[in-house]
Chains A and B, each alone.
Chain A
Amino acid sequence: MLEIRDLHASIDGVNILKGVNLRINAGETHAVMGPNGSGKSTLAFVLAGKPGYAVTSGQVTYDGVDLLGLAPEERARAGVFLSFQHPVEVPGVRLDQFLRAGFNALQKSRGAAELDPLKFDRLLRQRVKTVNVDPAMTKRAVNEGFSGGEKKRNEMLQMAVLEPKLAILDEPDSGLDVDALRTVAQGINGLRTTENALLLVTHYQRILNHVVPDFVHVLVNGRIVKSGGKELALEIESEGYDKYEQPRGEALPSPA
């Protein structure tokens, strides 16, 4: 489904990703783990098409097309979803209206019927149950005044509504207490199918107890330095990232 080959990306002239290789098939869950600043969010943003990042070399193919050539909304319409590490507050825009706009944009691009507010409301109420959020949240402005936990749940709700083929979840666990973590994890698991794939970015192993990955990759200094099965996450849990962060006699990132 997704193939990342030798991806190099920079922002403001600083090289962040320095040759990422990753292949994800339908039905798989991949975890990308790494210390702060290793480039996890950068990878997620580059895949979702956030402006400001320069891809200096490498390719990303998604379902046979050049993902990097698509505008962010085209990627979303093709089934790519990014759950933000820091979801954005959108004052004055009600969550249900925002979600309907997104849902209908996707429907339209696929030649499927758009839903009127009433019909969409029915769908939304059902998805609200799947991810176990407070239905009142959908009548509030997007993320405005939401707690950290509510923001993360809201990302899961959006994912449940948009039903992506490839979901990239950037630290869906950060800042959550144990209970909130469990509901978010349940939400994620409820959305896993054999048709879609999950790229779960995390700093801590904790969430992987609930959302069990098929593969774990360790991202350090813009590169995947080790890949393995779910046991790799446990190893990192006990040993930390230190041993991967040893200088390896390579060039440091060039200054801006």
Chain B
Amino acid sequence: MTSIATAGVTPFAADLDSLERDGFSQDPQWIRALRKDAMSRFNSLGFPTARRGNEEWKYTDVRPIAQAPLRLARAGEAPEPTASDIAPFLLGDGSWPRLVFIDGFFNRGLSTPLGGQEDASVLSLAGALHSRSATARESLGRLAPYASHGFTALNTAFAHEGAFVHIPDGLTLEKPAHLIFLTASREGHTVSQPRVLVVAGAGSKAAVIETYGSLTGAPYLCNAVSEVAAGPGASVEYYRIQRHSEEAYHVGTTQAALGRDARLDSFTLDLGGALVRNNLNALIDAPDGSCALNGVYLATRSQRVDNQVTIDHAKERGTSRELYKGVLSGRAKAAFHGSIIVRKDAQKVDARQEDKNLLLSDRAEANVKPAFWIYADDVKCGHGAASGRIDEGSLFYLQSRGLGEEEARNLLVQGFVNEVIDKVKRPSVRSHVAELVKARLKEL
């Protein structure tokens, strides 16, 4: 395999051509046009490898991705996973709607989709492009801009496989939709490109969980794009649980748009990955929208985790809260780049952002960069950032009660992240996250 040029016609263009003649040929015209446009954008953008004038990617060097001999994953190239293979990734009591994707391809046998035309539905996107073409067309590719984002352009160029979650006006998705994206290919250097579309109608309620993981130790790229449209008065819980192997590259972009009075509660957990970049953008484009975007990242050895969170308050009386915490050991590096935009019309906005890092080794590193663009005059904005070691005074306090040094350290680290985990809205997700974090902290 040749490495992918950062611009110019990429090997992916030929892949798309052959897919459009074959697997994608029955898709509606609008999505075929969208893919074509995105492909040409990617051809001219390439991956964001420039090190200068590339503020958004300042802390994440994607050359390892750009230089890897990547190729699109093929359906069925990995042995068919069994129920026990996916068991560690499951959540809930088995009654939840669930879509499982292996190397990016929908696996019907392991999935439990949901939905009739009038009800809430959790469906494979490839199918929904036909059965729900109108709904899909309204939002797909409309929320997540790709004109200047290489990874999003590449994902959009292959938008076909993925998940479609739709909750009609006034309805509640009773059980959370669990979307599980696993890479299983043992050959390595595969690219899978999950695409998620969540459309929550006016006054609806929904919870969506994306789990990312590995059934293989081979390196790969997971390039995910999710679009979440929360209509007026809708309430959406959105969770990302990233459990890739430490060989994996992950770029995940989520673009959410909130209507009037809409509410978004998001939690992002990063445990795995060699190089992870999460973009989470919330556009609050109508009055009184509110969101809480929280996250925990744990990294060790040479892991790189970069969270870029942007909240765009476009209209008045919006509220946003962000709390991210990281625990880093070994030579791990993390970045948190939180941007808050308060536009001219967005009076009485109340925004608060906080990122804290606990460094367990001398060589671990955290870069925190808050950025505010405030164009309205009557707003409340605040931010806090801190990176530090375990407090020796606290350690002594715990030891003076009989706890051994290691137990005391673990309790302090656990306590540090608990503050965020406690904010996970849904108890079943909260306890799942707590268990994963507890187990991963032992490996740090």
Residues of A within 8 A of B (CB): 48-52, 71-73, 75-77, 81-82, 84, 87-93, 98-99, 101-103, 105-106, 109, 141, 158, 162
Contact = CB atoms under 8 A, between A and B. Distances in A.
B397 interface: yes
A51 B416 contact: no
A167 B118 CA distance: 69
A187 to B, nearest CB: 17
Given A49-B400, A76-B401, A76-B402, A92 B418 contact: yes
B12 interface: no
A81 B405 CA distance: 17
Interface string B133-174: 000000000000000000000000000000000000000000
Nearest to A72: B399
Nearest to A108: B402
Given A71-B405, A73-B405, A91-B416, A101 B397 contact: no
A105 B404 contact: yes
B407 interface: yes
A84 to B, nearest CB: 7
A206 B398 CA distance: 30
25 contacts: A49-B396, A49-B400, A51-B392, A51-B396, A71-B405, A72-B396, A75-B400, A76-B400, A84-B400, A88-B393, A88-B397, A90-B394, A92-B415, A92-B416, A92-B418, A92-B422, A93-B411, A93-B412, A102-B402, A105-B401, A105-B403, A109-B402, A158-B401, A162-B401, A162-B402
B334 interface: no
Contacts of A75: 400
A73 B399 contact: yes
Nearest to B411: A93
Shortest beta-carbon contacts, A-B, top 6? A92-B415, A92-B418, A102-B401, A93-B415, A105-B402, A76-B402
Contact of B398 (A50, A77, A98): A98
A71 B415 CA distance: 23
Contacts of A76: 399-402
Contacts of A72: 396, 399-400
Given A73-B399, A109-B402, 16 more contacts: A49-B399, A72-B396, A73-B404, A73-B408, A88-B397, A90-B398, A90-B411, A91-B415, A92-B415, A92-B416, A92-B422, A93-B414, A98-B411, A99-B401, A101-B401, A101-B403
Interface string B302-327: 00000000000000000000000000
B414 A92 contact: yes
B359 interface: no
A73 B402 CA distance: 4
Interface in B399-433: 399-405, 407-408, 411-412, 414-419, 422
Interface of B: 391-394, 396-405, 407-408, 411-412, 414-419, 422
A102 B403 CA distance: 5
Contact of B397 (A87, A91, A141, A162): A87
Contact of A84 (B391, B392, B397, B407): B397
Nearest to A45: B396
B124 to A, nearest CB: 40
A11 B314 CA distance: 55
A82 B394 CA distance: 14
Contacts of A90: 394, 397-398, 411-412, 415
Given A92-B417, A101-B407, A141-B415, A71 B401 contact: no
Contact of B419 (A81, A87, A91, A101): A91
B37 to A, nearest CB: 47
B388 to A, nearest CB: 13
A59 to B, nearest CB: 21
B403 A73 contact: yes
B410 to A, nearest CB: 10
Contacts of B419: 91-92
Contacts of B403: 73, 101-102, 105
Central interface residue in B391, B397, B404, B405, by most chain A CB within 10 Å = B397
A34 to B, nearest CB: 22
